[in-house]
Amino acid sequence: MGKKDQFILVMIRNTDMVPLGEWGMDRGYSIDYLGAAEALRKAQEYIEHCTPLFTNIEFKLEGGEW
């Protein structure tokens, strides 16, 4: 097994679901490729862009690896 890449993950769930659905990954930004600060900036920018468009979606950030 090789080294796994590190990512900032944008996680989403539909707030219209009762009970609330599970969190699912929407997209990931590579820390190894972009650097931690840039990956986080891009993930936050994406959430800021999408929040007004999808009022029934809740967003959160997580770290992950593949």
pLDDT at 42: 98
In a domain, 42, yes or no: yes
pLDDT at 17: 87
Domain count, the chain: 1
Sign of CA dihedral 20, 24, 26, 32: positive
Q: What is the pLDDT along the chain (66 residues), one digit of tens a residue?
A: 578 999 999 999 999 988 888 999 999 999 999 999 999 999 999 999 999 999 999 999 999 998
In a domain, 19, yes or no: yes
In a domain, 35, yes or no: yes
Instruction: State the DSSP code for 27.
Output: E
For residue 58, the enclosing domain spans 6-65
pLDDT at 40: 98
In a domain, 18, yes or no: yes
